[in-house]
Amino acid sequence: MRVRMLERTLRPPQPRRGHRRRGGLIALLLLSPGWLIMEWIVPRIMAQQSPSVGQVAPGLSPPPQKYCPVMTSEEIDPETSPRVTYDGVTIYLCCDQCVTKFRRDPAAYLDPKLIPALQGKKLPPRGLEQVYCPVLRDRKVSSKDPFTIYKGVKIYFYNDLARQRFEKDPERYADPTILPQLRMPTKNGPLLSVFTTYSCST
């Protein structure tokens, strides 16, 4: 009997089951606010503050311009390429001919994807739905460029040589993905290409 009483005296007190559950619940409640903030609230705040794709974060410089905004596959060199200024932004072009085209109709070539320094600026609307020449497809066009009439609509070209090539074989170049004016809506909504007949004039 004395031995059992001595063992009970030396044995450390064991917490009750209910007390253990309450302690775990209290610890969970104490840790939950921190977990909630770090795992759920903070990522959402950061996502709202982060700039979207194609935008420059406040305080950061935009990436340098790499390509001409007129002949879009031609690289530019900030050291040697001709340049113009628009709304305080220096714009580089690949040649003097592109400089002339840009100055004649700047709105047709103000593309922030090609000129990152324009990001965030209010730009004038582009007056022409067609963006690229259907013959020289890496070159942008404007309403000041040569054109012909095809399917009753105007088709614009980078230069007269491209226009002449189109008129010799219009079906080769009349691609509605390049020429949105050749698409017309149907009653059900999708766009329908028109290629049944054509007429060209200079």
Q: Per-residue pLDDT tens for 31-73?
A: 455 544 455 555 554 545 444 444 555 557 889 999 999 999 9
Q: Which helix (H) or strand (E) holds 83?
A: strand 83-86
Of 24-33, 58-67, 79-88, 165-174, the range with the lowest mean pLDDT is 24-33
Rounded Cα distance between 86 and 12, Å, is: 82
Asked whether the beta carbons of 151 and 198 are under 8 A apart, the reply is yes
Residue 159 has pLDDT above 70, yes or no: yes
Residue 109 has pLDDT above 60, yes or no: yes
Rounded Cα distance between 30 and 44, Å, is: 22
- Give, in degrees to the nearest 5, the angle at Cα 85 between 80 and 88: 125
Segment 123-136, tens digit of pLDDT: 999 989 999 999 99
Q: How confident is the model at residue 11 (pLDDT cuts 50, 70, 90)?
A: low
Percent of the chain with pLDDT over 70: 61
Of 68-77, 102-111, 179-188, the range with the lowest mean pLDDT is 179-188
pLDDT value, residue 152 = 94
pLDDT value, residue 62 = 85
Asked whether the beta carbons of 87 and 121 are under 8 A apart, the reply is yes
